[in-house]
Amino acid sequence: MKKQKTPSQKAGRTLFIILLSVFGVVFVANGFLIYYATSSFSGLTSPNAYEEGLRYQPPKKPTS
């Protein structure tokens, strides 16, 4: 004969499955966002950004 589960055992298993599902959705969403962020834009607007940054001179403020 099978031993019947108590309501607290059923609730515990259900809560565990819900918790795993929520974390699974979060991990999948984070993975997608990381993939999209790394593959969509390199961050460079110029092929020589470092050298241009070294030569950059901020505009001088006008004296009054």
Domain limits at 13? 8-38
Say yes or no to pLDDT of 10 above 90.
Answer: no
pLDDT classification of 1: cutoffs 50, 70, 90: low
Residue 52 lies in a domain: no
Residue 32 lies in a domain: yes
Residue 44 lies in a domain: no
> How many domains does the structure of the chain reveal?
1
Residue 47 lies in a domain: no
**Which are the contacts of 52, defined by CB distance < 8 A and separation ≥ 6?**
46
User: Would you say 32 and 26 are in contact if contact means Cβ atoms under 8 Å apart?
Assistant: no
Residue 51 lies in a domain: no
Residue 61 lies in a domain: no
Reported pTM: 0.56
Q: What is the pLDDT of residues 12-61, one digit of tens each?
A: 899 999 999 999 999 999 999 999 988 888 777 888 888 998 998 888 88
pLDDT reported for residue 23? 98
pLDDT reported for residue 58? 84
